[in-house]
Amino acid sequence: MEGIYFYRPSAKAPEFIKFNISIERDRLIDWLKKQDEKVRVVLKESKQGNLYVSIDDYKPESEPTGNAPDKETEDDLPF
């Protein structure tokens, strides 16, 4: 992801400030124009302790199946 950067606040920052964010507007807009309509991102921490944003490309290994009863169970219902 290009054009957006996260930094830890200084030690003197109030406790309620969690991150400083820097946005390079033109660079971010150019990058976003190349993406789908909806972009999911995650904030990560590198091994060196630097914060960065990347596209959330997580896909579950298998899709969960619904709780719909199977045909055999459905036929046994008293109503």
Domain locations in the chain? 4-57
Q: How far apart are CA 61 and CA 24, in angstroms?
A: 35
Cβ of 32: how many Cβ atoms within 10 Å? 15
Instruction: Give pLDDT, residue 59.
Output: 84
% the chain with pLDDT above 70: 78
Element (H, E) at 26: helix 25-33
Coil, helix or strand for 28? helix
Taking the whole predicted model, whether its pTM rises above 0.75 is answered as no
Task: Name the amino acid, one letter, at 31.
Answer: W
Express each pLDDT in 5-41 by its tens digit.
Answer: 989 999 999 999 999 999 999 999 999 999 999 999 9
Indicate whether 67 pLDDT > 70.
Answer: no
Q: How far apart are CA 2 and CA 52, in angstroms?
A: 10
- Which of 22, 17, 58, 56 is CA-nearest to residue 39? 56
